[in-house]
Amino acid sequence: MDSTALVAVENLSRYYQKNCAIDQLSFSLQAGEVLGFLGPNGAGKSTTMQVITGNLAPSEGRVIINGFDIIESPRQAKQHIGYLPEHPPIYREATVDEYLKYCAKLRRVEHGSIANAMEESKSHCGLNEVGHRLIANLSKGYQQRVGIAQAIIHNPAVVILDEPTVGLDPIQIREIRSLIKTLGAERSVILSTHILSEVQASCDRVLIIREGKLIYSASIETLKNYRNKHSITAAFNNPPPIEQLEAIGLIEQVESIDNNRFRLSFNSDSPAESLVQVSVEKKWGLFELVPDHASLEDLFIELTQDENAGVDSAEAEG
Amino acid sequence: MIFTIARREIITMFLSPLAWVILGVIQVVLGFMFLSLLDNYAILQPQLMRLENTPGVTDIVVAPLFQLAAIILLMIMPLITMRTFAEEKRNKTLTLLISSPLSMTEIVLGKFLGLFLFVFFLVSLLMLMPLSLYMGTALDTGKLVSIYLSMLLLLSSFAAIGLYLSSLTDNQTIAAVSTFGALLMLWIIDWVGETAGGGQNVAAYLSILRHHQSMLEGVFNFSDLAYYLILITTFLVLTIRQLDRDRLL
């Protein structure tokens, strides 16, 4: 494995009694990278994160954080990790300030710089106004932010977030995502989720696991290209005969959806421009032109159900 | 680091009404007992005057008071120790401690120190009652110190046992009930000695009551001190091992 990697996971396995939760998982995380960890429920995402952060002992394999083995020198290794578990570990009876101060002390932030660290992580997470409030009285979204604030208070090299947007409303989700983007600019982030669009919004690279095995690993660009189907949907007020549409350059195949709508397939370059031109010339009354995407759910289901999804081919790019 | 955790423990305890209620109830109940013991002494005093080598007020009022206090606290301590680990496990906040750069030993010692400071506060409050007698009479200071020490050691042992049983479960009630059972067993284990012949000495040495009793009488034995220290260390080590084991399951 790469020795410069910030996080190196080598042949990691983890059993619950006879139950195998992670099976020979290996991956690494470079500095400044945001890694999306994707998988259906029960795929072993949370277990992997718990092992990486030292909350569970691995059955086999090693985890190296910034050169320190999490089992052999846990204290040094943990110093470099900030971890937000599935349930944020917050003390409901404390105020945000009290709680963050306690976390800073636990993470051995020097006494003189505690106030600074608190300010910084609070402004990162948009908690400046609620510092004096009891955590129990905050909304779920704010509690989640407090959870993220405790994970970054000691300025760790790696931030590990386990499903950070679960149970939040769309606005809060957007805020948390932009927060993750900001974090990714300064640190390495591992983010687990079962929501594909989340990975797309925030990650540089994605790992998909299923039943504890790595089944897909690629950069986010590869994933995006994978998504684009080579077809567009066009709708006309005065629909032309199919033959006339097929006559336009670049269009390979035309399929009628209803009276006004057609699905136009093509090979590489999009025929949209010439289609619009022809439509104007012949007064077809084009009123809709939409590129088709494979739905994210389709892709996810395809990847997590297909045994032979391309780990090998994709690994080279990742 | 240990102090940071201990401080948090104390703050958490006093943020919930439980600690206040416990302190209040113990003060009221023991205050009542203290007064009735004093009344009793006032009745006995004329007869005692005629005897030689009479037991003093420390023996007749203070020692029995702390005998009773020990029994009441045997029932109350499980309520104080039950939340230490069980609550953190239930609320999933233990992750915060475990993913911080701390050793298990630091976590357990921090929790124990928090409990010890609470016990220290509690016993010091109780000691104010006998100390108030200084206003009207002379007390045996040596015996008072011995009683104070004995209470601290006894309650610290209770705390260590409670801490361990709390680390075994995420249910506070189970932690409290099992701690109460364990403490009670440790209290009455020397009853065995009275019926069965063999192992009598062992049972008597194991009984926490014997050690408390002799220190209440002002007899300070190193074997008593060793007993308490071994008990506390054993259960703290067991707790550390338990936390380590939790990561393997």
- Give me Rg for the CA atoms of chain A: 24
Same domain, A56 and A179: yes
**Predicted local distance difference test score (pLDDT) of residue A311:** 45
| Average pLDDT taken over every residue of chain B | 89
Report DSSP letters for A82-151, one per residue. EEE-SS----TTSBHHHHHHHHHHHTT--GGGHHHHHHHHHHHTT-GGGTTSBGGGS-HHHHHHHHHHHH
Q: Give strand pairing partners of A232.
A: A264, A291
* Chain A CA closest to residue B1: A106
Residues A93, B98: C-beta atoms closer than 8 Å = no
Same domain, A58 and A159: yes
In sequence order, which residues have a C-beta less than 8 Å from that of residue A105 and are 6 or more positions away? A114, B1, B4
Q: Does some domain include residue A92?
A: yes
Q: Does some domain include residue A299?
A: no
Same domain, A117 and A258: no
Same domain, A170 and A29: yes
Cβ atoms B84, B163 nearer than 8 A: yes
Indicate the number of domains in chain A: 2
Q: Choose between B136 and A93: higher pLDDT.
A: A93
HEC string of B44-56 equals HHHHHHHCCCCCC
- How is residue A179 written in tokens? 């927060």
Query: What CATH number corresponds to the domain at position A29?
Result: 3.40.50.300
Same domain, A191 and A85: yes
Question: Looking at the complex, does the CB of residue A107 fall below 8 Å from at least one CB of chain B?
Answer: yes
**Predicted local distance difference test score (pLDDT) of residue A310:** 45
- Show the domain range for A277: 226-293
Same domain, A221 and A289: no
**Predicted local distance difference test score (pLDDT) of residue A316:** 38
Query: What CATH number corresponds to the domain at position A231?
Result: 3.30.70
Cβ atoms B84, B162 nearer than 8 A: yes
**Predicted local distance difference test score (pLDDT) of residue A307:** 52
Nearest-5° Cα angle at B247, B244 to B249: 115
In sequence order, which residues have a C-beta less than 8 Å from that of residue A57 and are 6 or more positions away? A51, A71, B247, B248
In sequence order, which residues have a C-beta less than 8 Å from that of residue B184 and are 6 or more positions away? B74
Same domain, A142 and A167: yes
Indicate the number of domains in chain B: 1
Q: Choose between B114 and B44: higher pLDDT.
A: B114
Interface test with B, best of A91, A108, A146 (most B CBs within 10 A): A91
Same domain, A120 and A190: yes
CA distances from A147 to A152, A162, B84, B93, B99 (A): 9, 11, 21, 11, 13
What is the value of ipTM here, to two decimals? 0.87
At A36, is the secondary structure helix, strand, or coil? Answer: strand
Question: Looking at the complex, does the CB of residue B95 fall below 8 Å from at least one CB of chain A?
Answer: yes
Same domain, A28 and A125: yes
What is the residue-level pLDDT of chain A in tens, covering all 318 positions?
445 788 999 999 998 888 888 888 898 888 888 998 888 888 888 899 999 999 999 999 999 998 899 988 999 999 999 999 989 999 999 999 999 999 999 999 999 999 999 999 998 888 899 999 999 999 888 898 899 999 999 989 999 999 888 777 888 788 888 888 888 888 899 998 877 777 877 888 888 888 888 887 877 777 666 666 677 888 888 888 888 888 887 777 788 888 888 888 877 777 888 888 888 888 888 888 887 766 556 666 776 665 544 444 444 333
CA distances from A229 to A223, A292, A301 (A): 12, 6, 16
Residues B96, A106: C-beta atoms closer than 8 Å = yes
Measured distance CA(A88)–CA(A92) in Å, rounded: 11
Measured distance CA(A270)–CA(A291) in Å, rounded: 9
Q: Choose between B240 and A163: higher pLDDT.
A: B240
At A2, which amino acid appears? D
Q: Does some domain include residue A127?
A: yes
Considering only A193-207, A295-309, B82-96, B130-144, which range has the smallest mean pLDDT? A295-309
Residues A93, B249: C-beta atoms closer than 8 Å = no
| φ, ψ at A187 (rounded to 5°) | -135, 175
Question: Looking at the complex, does the CB of residue B103 fall below 8 Å from at least one CB of chain A?
Answer: yes
% of chain B beyond a pLDDT of 70: 96
Measured distance CA(B183)–CA(A15) in Å, rounded: 37
Closest CB from B11, B99, B101 relative to A55: B99
Long-range contacts of A26-30 (CB under 8 A, 24+ apart): A26/A1, A26/A61, A26/A214, A27/A207, A27/A214, A27/A217, A28/A1, A28/A2, A29/A5, A29/A158, A29/A188, A29/A190, A30/A2, A30/A4, A30/A5, A30/A6, A30/A188
Closest CB from A57, A75, A98 relative to B247: A57
Q: Does some domain include residue A2?
A: no
Same domain, A239 and A208: no
Residues of A with Cβ-Cβ distance to B1 under 8 angstroms: 105-106, 108
**Over residues B161-168, mean pLDDT:** 96
Same domain, A261 and A118: no
- Show the domain range for B159: 2-246
Q: Does some domain include residue A298?
A: no
**Predicted local distance difference test score (pLDDT) of residue A306:** 57
In sequence order, which residues have a C-beta less than 8 Å from that of residue A313 and are 6 or more positions away? none
Provide the CA B20 distance to its chain's centre, in angstroms: 17
Question: Looking at the complex, does the CB of residue A53 fall below 8 Å from at least one CB of chain B?
Answer: yes
Q: Which residue has tokens 């101060």? A: A101
Same domain, A235 and A218: no
- How is residue B31 written in tokens? 């205050």
Residues of A with Cβ-Cβ distance to B242 under 8 angstroms: none
Residues of B with Cβ-Cβ distance to A86 under 8 angstroms: 92
